[in-house]
Amino acid sequence: MNKQWQQDQSFDQIADKFEKNIYGTSKGRLRHELLLHYLHQHLPAGSLDCLDAGGGTGVMAKEMLSLGHRVLVNDISGQALEMAQKKLSGFPDVNFHCGALQSLEPERNFDLILCHAVLEWLSDPFDALTHLLKRLKPGGYLSLSFFNRDAHLFSNLLYGNFDYIDKDFVVSNRVRLNPNNALPPSEVLDFIQKAGLEIRHKAGIRCFHDYMRDKTMQSSHYQQIKAREIQYGSTHPYLWLGRYFHLIALKPES
């Protein structure tokens, strides 16, 4: 295996903690529900061959399987995939691949590729993205979300974390659940378009939730916040403020 892939973040030994930290909080729930909202809006009808790249413990794969899609769940963490296998044991149309997404079978292509909150954990996210685009069929869709570097800078300016910013967001004692490699949306969008894909949708994920002055409102006013995220999250200027950025792109037939 290529050495750089070995530097990608794996959640072995902390997969349980990861799932609780992400999906057991209002921020994780909101991110998941907003992604589902946009997928329902933009994906074509019918059963699709789907790759869930960096699919972790299978939360999004379960949603896709419930909609009748066929899913290959890929992750570098064997422990996360063990959890996914248990969660998805009742579905017949699911398979699993443990390893870097660059090691996926080159001859297998997909109608839909999901890559949600993965790029920011990789040592070379654009190399990974290049490999994913090769696995996408003509006429296929890419759903990509990633940690937004611009919003990361904005939030730390609001918090007054000037030393952290001056160190280019690098700390000596990095928390394993903090993303390593946030990306500017403009760079990712430019990369996708230069690769020949058509951007069909773009939105910020958690444009308001994370900036609430009263953090208790993140739970007490969850439905109101979600409604505003949907109302404004795909409009200027708010989409650029989302802690995560989401896009759906189509690979043309020719």
- Which tens digits make up the pLDDT trace of 136-167? 999 999 999 999 999 999 999 999 999 989 98
**Which among 64, 56, 3 has a CA at the least distance from the CA of 35?**
64
- Which tens digits make up the pLDDT trace of 84-96? 999 999 999 999 9
Dist CA 53 CA 98 (whole Å) = 10
Query: Which range (168-172, 208-212, 230-234) has the least confidence?
Result: 168-172
Dist CA 5 CA 99 (whole Å) = 9
| pLDDT beyond 50 at 5 | no
Cβ contact 113:53 at 8 Å: yes
Q: Where are the domains positioned within the chain? A: 3-250
Average pLDDT over residues 214-226: 97
- Which tens digits make up the pLDDT trace of 235-247? 999 999 999 999 9
Dist CA 250 CA 190 (whole Å) = 14
CA 241, 101, 136, 15 dihedral sign is: negative
Q: Is 54 annotated as a binding-site member?
A: yes
Average pLDDT over residues 113-128: 95
Hey, how many other C-beta atoms are within 10 angstroms of the C-beta on 174? 11
Q: Is 31 annotated as a binding-site member?
A: yes
* Cis, peptide link before residue 92, omega less than 30° from 0: no
| pLDDT beyond 50 at 6 | no
Q: Is 46 annotated as a binding-site member?
A: no
Confidence of residue 15 (pLDDT cuts 50, 70, 90): low
Where is pLDDT greater, at 81 or 170? Answer: 81
Q: pLDDT value at position 43?
A: 93
End-to-end CA distance of the chain: 33
Topology at the third CATH level for domain 3-250: Rossmann fold (3.40.50)
The H or E element that residue 246 is part of is strand 244-250
Q: Is 135 annotated as a binding-site member?
A: no
